[in-house]
Structure 1
Amino acid sequence: MMRNGTVLSFDFGTKNIGVAIGHKITGIARPLGSFKSNQRSPEWSKIKKILTEWHLDLVVVGLPLNIDGTEQLITVQARKFANRIHGRFGIEIALHDERFSTAEARSHILSRNNRGYRALKKSNIDAVSAVIILESWFRQQL
């Protein structure tokens, strides 16, 4: 059950994790940036700081599926990441299909920035992907 409607999303990756924040009432999200990760362990201290700062109702984790909807190795890793967030912090988790979010993020960045391909830094792409994942999740809740 949502109390204040604040929702965070993660675009999970084995090297970087994008983060976005949004509100269920508006259905709009904004990027919070990204941070480094590795396959064994993300920076849990950064995750804890974000979760504590925003007083969230829910965390949405992007679920990276193949184009045909089947799972791949990183899908399992994203599920594990989501389960660890729930286990460590007790916050409700939702998984959301993130197919094509990275391609959409690249397109979005290029269309809104006159710096061209120089604007396509990995950290920008991951954060915008997290926005796309969260706004897609909001639309699905209608």
Structure 2
Amino acid sequence: MQDIDLYDLPELLDSNHRLLGLDPGSKTIGMAVSDRDYKVASPIGTILRSKFKADAAKLKEICEERNIGALVMGLPVNMDGTEGPRCQSVRTLAENLHKIAGFTIPIVFWDERLSTSAVERFLIGEADMTRKRRSEVVDKAAAAYILQGALDALQRRSDR
């Protein structure tokens, strides 16, 4: 699978497509969707991970229902910029979505360093959520944080 640059996405998408942001973890996959103007990311849910084929089928269904033109996957890069085993796991997931599950839409990676901790700090400090409630929303909120970062980068590029 060839890496696609985030900044090449607008040329690959139709005007009615949306982006699906993913925060893939070992137990869940947080999801967020963009608006059609690629300005706002909204959390939409979490997939509790099971077998790959079942997870891929759920993702494919969501992509079809929401007219998704590309996936933006959070890439958990180490603080020093290197890629460790968690990055390899995300890259393998993306590769398997193409090779095994037959996904044909582009998949781009977005550096998600500190996304989950930033979301948790917000949920604790600003939203004053209980631990139980935070655990219910943190993955999809992290996906929205990741996708919003990518959308903001696209917007900055188009404003030049």
Q: What TM-score, normalized by structure 2, do the two folds share?
A: 0.79
CA separation of 1:27 and 1:86: change in aligned 2, threshold 3 A: farther
Structure 2 letter corresponding to 1:104:
A
Is 1:110–1:119's contact at 8 Å kept on the other side of the alignment? no
Q: How does 1:91-110 map to 2 (within 5 A)?
A: 91-110=105-124
Q: CA deviation at 1:114?
A: 4.2
Q: CA deviation at 1:84?
A: 2.2
Structure 2 letter corresponding to 1:27:
K
2:8 corresponds to: none
Q: Which runs of 5+ in 2 are unaligned?
A: 1-11
Q: CA deviation at 1:110?
A: 2.6
Provide the rounded CA distance (Å) in 2 between the counterparts of 1:117 and 1:104: 15
1:6 maps to 2:12: no
Q: How does 1:71-82 map to 2 (within 5 A)?
A: 71-82=83-94
Is 2:21–2:74's contact at 8 Å kept on the other side of the alignment? yes
Provide the rounded CA distance (Å) in 1 between the counterparts of 2:70 and 2:122: 25
Structure 1 residues 76-127: Cα deviation after superposition (integer angstroms, max 9, x where no partner): 0101111222342201111110000001111232345344434211x41110
Q: How does 1:30-109 map to 2 (within 5 A)?
A: 30-37=42-49, 41=52, 43-87=55-99, 88-109=102-123
Provide the rounded CA distance (Å) in 1 between the counterparts of 2:76 and 2:143: 12
Q: Which runs of 5+ in 1 are unaligned?
A: none
Percentage of identical aligned residues: 28
Structure 2 letter corresponding to 1:15:
K
The alignment partner of 2:94 has SS state of helix
Provide the rounded CA distance (Å) in 2 between the counterparts of 1:68 and 1:37: 29
CA separation of 1:5 and 1:108: change in aligned 2, threshold 3 A: farther
Provide the rounded CA distance (Å) in 1 between the counterparts of 2:66 and 2:36: 14
